[in-house]
Amino acid sequence: MPYYRQVGEIPHKRHTAFRKPDGGLYAEELMGVEGFSADSALLYHRGLPTAIVDAVAIEDERGPITPNHPLKPRAFKTQDLKFGDADAVTDRRRLFGNADVTIGFVHATRPSPLYRNAAGDELFYVQGGSATVETIYGSLEVGDGDYLVIPTSCTYRVLPHDDDGGVKLLTIEARGHIGPPKRYLSAKGQFLEHSPYCERDIRGPSEPLVVDGTDVEVLVRHRAGLTRYTYATHPFDVVGWDGCLYPWAFNIDDFEPITGRVHQPPPVHQTFEGPNFVVCSFCPRKVDYHPESIPVPYNHANVDSDELMFYVRGNYEARKGSGIEVGSLSLHPSGFTHGPQPGAAEASIGAQFFDETAVMVDTFAPLDLGEAADASEDHRYAWTWSGRGPGA
């Protein structure tokens, strides 16, 4: 996240003696990306962030991913996935994945273990409920419609709120960093006037989170798998930090849609970019106002992308009649031309407003299918444009 933030106590000059009340030194840590050549934060710990007393290999139980073969447009219903008393880290179920990104879903109702993902940034979309996300930078409250970006190697845990029925999360794990589209940022990182959201819409931790504890376990996802560290003291021991690298949230309702006289292409809805993927927000909006405009999309062969849509509110205009509901996902792979369901183009002419909300993930490499995709697929979807399937 490109703009500067300061929380808690920090010394006036970086890399100078900063002392605790007992006279000892706070331990300074620089957390930075791209080898000291990009955004970073300086954090001041009561204990040593290096002091581990154990490291144990943990089995990764996410299961295999399989290619989309035969190649088909597919739909899935996250609302049909079963979760017991789940946590947002270890009970996350994998829907899709490739070398760049892993996409999962969880309905979490109990606290997660302390966790950090050293393989890349994580992006959550909150589909319902609410939670407190505690991090080494401080806490963030998240609720329906929030996006939350958690930087690589940021230790955190998710505490779902019981009185809200827990929290439902679409989880997007990158092999790299996730941020706002660069075209919306100035050379120095300020959001530009044509950006659909800006600094005022963004929330970050506002006060330190300091927890006492010894021999504290932290689950670490890294390139080779999962390792459980035991730290001598609690990792939530940061009394202050400053910099431009920290977890941040903003709500999809604060994304201001860009509209036009005729149909606007998906890049106007872009919200984030990651390595070899983008995330877009389709929000309730006034639609195309040319008198003869067709507000739903034209058929399109976006030949370099797999297009995943997560339908989160309303009744998506272009998909009416396809079985898509709130909680559904559609996957339109490269190699398949997709478009509105039959009748949707005609029905949309003259519409003034679309009351629909969807989150789209476009990946530049094909998405393979995980166990949660297999468990929730609506196998009728591929044939909904023709109205008949094989043998019919």
| Shortest Å, Cβ 355 to Fe ion | 19
Question: Tokens standing for 334?
Answer: 């490269």
Closest CB to Fe ion among 90 and 276?
276
If binding means CB under 5 A, how many residues of this protein chain bind Fe ion?
1
Question: Tokens standing for 283?
Answer: 């929000």
Q: Which of 168, 174, 125 is nearest to 145 (CA)?
A: 125
Reduced to 3 states (helix: H, G, I; strand: E, B; else coil), residue 352 is coil
Q: Is 332 annotated as a binding residue?
A: no
10 Å Cβ neighbour count for 220?
19
DSSP string, 220-243: EEETTEEEEEEEEE-S-BEEEEEE
**For residues 114 and 129, is the Cβ–Cβ distance under 8 A?**
no
Closest CB to Fe ion among 240 and 333?
333
Q: Which of 113, 133, 136 is nearest to 45 (CA)?
A: 136
Closest CB to Fe ion among 307 and 368?
307
| Shortest Å, Cβ 330 to Fe ion | 9
Phi, psi of 233 (to 5 degrees): -135, 165
Going by their DSSP bridges, the two strands 101-108 and 167-174 should be labelled as antiparallel
| Shortest Å, Cβ 41 to Fe ion | 37
Q: Which of 349, 347, 336, 351 is nearest to 386 (CA)?
A: 336
**For residues 111 and 158, is the Cβ–Cβ distance under 8 A?**
yes
Q: Which of 213, 212, 277 is nearest to 53 (CA)?
A: 213
Q: Is 173 annotated as a binding residue?
A: no
What does the buried/exposed string (b/e) look like for 171-203 if buried means 16 or more CB atoms within 10 Å of the residue's CB?
bbbbbbbbbbbeebbeeebebeeebbbbeebbb
**For residues 96 and 373, is the Cβ–Cβ distance under 8 A?**
yes
Closest CB to Fe ion among 204 and 257?
257
Q: Is 316 annotated as a binding residue?
A: yes
Q: Is 289 annotated as a binding residue?
A: no
> What residues numbered 291-320 form the site for Fe ion, per CB under 5 A?
307
Closest CB to Fe ion among 39 and 307?
307
Active site residue 263: yes
* 7 Cβ contact list (under 8 Å, min separation 6): 137, 138, 204, 205, 206, 207, 208, 240, 241, 242
Catalytic residue among 263, 269, 290, 379: 263
Q: Which residue is nearest to Fe ion (CB)?
A: 307
Closest CB to Fe ion among 273 and 307?
307
| Shortest Å, Cβ 360 to Fe ion | 8
Question: Tokens standing for 328?
Answer: 């559904």
- The residue behind tokens 């940034």 is 121
| Shortest Å, Cβ 338 to Fe ion | 6
Question: Tokens standing for 345?
Answer: 């183009």
- The residue behind tokens 């431009």 is 244
| Shortest Å, Cβ 296 to Fe ion | 10
> What residues numbered 258-287 form the site for Fe ion, per CB under 5 A?
none
Binding-site residue set: 300, 307, 316, 338
What positions carry a catalytic annotation? Answer: 263
Binding-site residue set for homogentisate: 316, 338
Binding-site residue set for Fe cation: 300, 307, 338
Can you give the binding site for Fe ion, defined by CB under 5 A?
307
